[in-house]
Copies of this chain bind each other. A is one copy, B any other.
């Protein structure tokens, strides 16, 4: 019994080894950013978006936002809650935002730098469903959410844990954000993201982060999380999103202003128009953050893709989405803003070939474009409706491969190894050379779920497909989970905060 357990532990350690060899590491893209728009095209998009703001304007469905715009001298119609900011004002406000900033993590080694050519991978977010091979697809639970936070903590190539990874539908709506916040702040010590669902939830996130990070002043000076704020495209920010944006900006926390555009539905069907509209909406949101708190960090978010005209479904991991992602990065660079893209978008119902190739049609552009924050990098399935355990692990492999790729090639006398080439000579082999023996353990990328056995061995070992191997690895990994250190006083205070919130909510209902 004892021996069997020991063997199992050994096997687990073995299985987890490929990930153990991929610790958390900061990532920069040393390659020149790939640009799909010429400078003239970029100008045309810019000018079109300025015209949209000046002539068509944009809804801000929040009294405080409207007052801020009015005070800044923008043309505002309070009755229709509409603002027509001119380009001078918008660009002046946008220019106040920093080009780069840092996000603090509970573990100082996990702090992140946002901007320039820094690349940060975040998990999937906002999936209502959870799926794994064992139990299939079902509404997400708090247990699922906690499992995913642990996995994100365990996987080195993941930089950020999305605060909405999977919706805990077994928790009352009014309490979900505090339950998620507690899990994020205790089960992981990586940078987290949060949601911008109104002033109350945002305030709770700020308060809980303040408990974990040394107080409200401390997090205002050195921000600790980023929150996605969607425009309700076309040309509208609702009160919920604006409540979040204003609350976070006031407390010094960066928001990611992301127009939610599916071309053909929330914008004209032509990608030029979709991108111009995205730019107008994103800059309007960015400008508002600077009205709230001049100089507060903020991220330009791009999520534009297209509708599938046959099914009416949003289409993800598409060439059009890739072009929008590249274009958005060019625009963000033009304004000196950090950029957010997405890394794992796809429409597949299962973690199969489609899931993988569509994901790559999202990940490659995000990395090549120099997206600084890449949301939905791991775990996304089914147009974002599903957080998949297996897809998460498979995606981590893709991220780890990008980590290796961006390290480039080391070229010096040692690595050129001319004496070794000479010693082996024509027709020989390099298996046993001193040069090889000194390096074979970590010379090459070691796959996580990729299988390189020959056919017979693979078949003998169960002929598992990638998703089945990922399933096994996820469970083996989770066996190794250790919660990161946490001051018990902080834990207690966080628990009290959650308990108080529960009492408040009970009282109200």
Contact = CB atoms under 8 A, between A and B. Distances in A.
Given A357-B360, A411-B41, A267 B430 contact: yes
Nearest to A397: B357
A74 interface: no
Contacts of A347: 450-452
B268 A430 contact: yes
A445 B310 CA distance: 11
Interface residues of A, number: 122
B34 A34 contact: yes
A480 interface: no
A364 to B, nearest CB: 5
A309 interface: yes
Contacts of A355: 353, 356
Given A269-B439, A353-B465, A137 B417 contact: no
Interface centre among A32, A48, A449, by most B CB within 10 Å?
Answer: A48
Interface stretch (A168-176, A183-191, A291-299, A319-327): A319-327
B349 A360 contact: no
Interface string A33-54: 0111100010011001001100
A32 B427 CA distance: 38
Interface centre among A412, A424, A431, A444, by most B CB within 10 Å?
Answer: A444
A352 B354 contact: no
A487 interface: no
Contacts of A37: 409, 411
A327 B187 CA distance: 42
Nearest to A356: B356
A445 B318 contact: yes
Contacts of A474: none
Interface in A390-446: 394, 397-398, 401-402, 404-405, 408-412, 414-418, 420-422, 424-431, 433, 435-436, 439-441, 443-446
A306 to B, nearest CB: 5
B272 A412 contact: yes
Interface stretch (A89-97, A118-126, A231-239, A252-260): A231-239
A256 to B, nearest CB: 21
A463 interface: yes
A455 B381 CA distance: 11
Interface stretch (A55-63, A140-148, A221-229): A55-63
Interface stretch (A101-109, A273-281, A490-498): A273-281
Nearest to A323: B409
A105 B82 CA distance: 61
Interface centre among A265, A359, A398, A454, by most B CB within 10 Å?
Answer: A454
Contact of A269 (B382, B397, B425, B430): B430
Contacts of A440: 264, 269, 309
B416 A272 contact: yes
Interface centre among A268, A273, A353, A417, by most B CB within 10 Å?
Answer: A353
A266 interface: yes
A414 B350 CA distance: 39
A385 interface: yes
Contacts of A358: 450
Interface in A366-392: 368, 382-383, 385
Contacts of A450: 347-348, 354, 358
Contacts of A82: 426
A269 B271 CA distance: 45
A68 interface: no
A361 interface: yes
A467 interface: yes
A298 to B, nearest CB: 22
A270 B414 contact: yes
Interface centre among A359, A404, A416, by most B CB within 10 Å?
Answer: A416
A31 interface: yes
Interface of A: 31-32, 34-37, 41, 44-45, 48, 51-52, 55-59, 82, 137, 232, 234-236, 263-273, 275-277, 306-311, 313, 315, 318-320, 322-323, 327, 347-361, 364, 368, 382-383, 385, 394, 397-398, 401-402, 404-405, 408-412, 414-418, 420-422, 424-431, 433, 435-436, 439-441, 443-446, 449-455, 458-459, 463, 465-467
4 nearest interchain CB pairs? Answer: A356-B356, A360-B360, A272-B415, A319-B404
